[in-house]
Structure 1
Amino acid sequence: MEWITGETVSILLFFIGLFGVVGRRNIIKTVVSIGIMETAIILFFLTIQGEGERVPPIVPLVGETVADPLPQALMITAIVIGVAVTAVSLTMFISLYHKYGTTNWHKVEVKRREQDT
Structure 2
Amino acid sequence: MEILVASAIAVLTTCGVYLVLRRRTFPVILGISLLSYAVNIFLFSTGRLVQHLPPILIKHGHTSYTDPLPQALVLTAIVISFGMTALVVMIALGAFLSSDEDEIDMKDTPESGEAQ
Would you say the 8 A contact 1:10–1:40 is kept in 2? yes
Structure 1 residues 3 and 35: alpha-carbon distance in aligned structure 2, compared to 1, 3 A threshold = same
- Tell me, which stretches of 5 or more residues in structure 1 are unaligned? 111-117
> 1:10 and 1:4 mapped to 2: Cα distance?
10
Query: TM-score normalized by structure 1?
Result: 0.79
- Cα 1:108–1:49 change in 2 (3 A) is farther
Aligned residues: 108
The structure in which a higher percent of residues are helix is 1
Whether the 8 Å CA contact 2:43–2:73 is kept in 1: the answer is: no
Structure 2 residue aligned with 1:50: 48
Change (3 A) 1:69 1:11: same
Residue in 2 that maps onto 1:90: 89
The equivalent residue for 1:62 is 60
Counterpart Cα distance in 1 of 2:97 and 2:108: 15
Secondary structure in 2 matching 1:5: helix
Partner Cα distance (1:43, 1:79) in 2: 11
What do you get for the CA RMSD once the two structures are aligned? 2.5
With the length of structure 2 as denominator, give the TM-score of the two structures: 0.79
**How far is the alpha carbon of 1:81 from its aligned partner?**
0.4
Q: Which runs of 4+ in 1 moved over 6 A?
A: 107-110
Q: Does residue 36 of structure 1 match 2:31? A: no
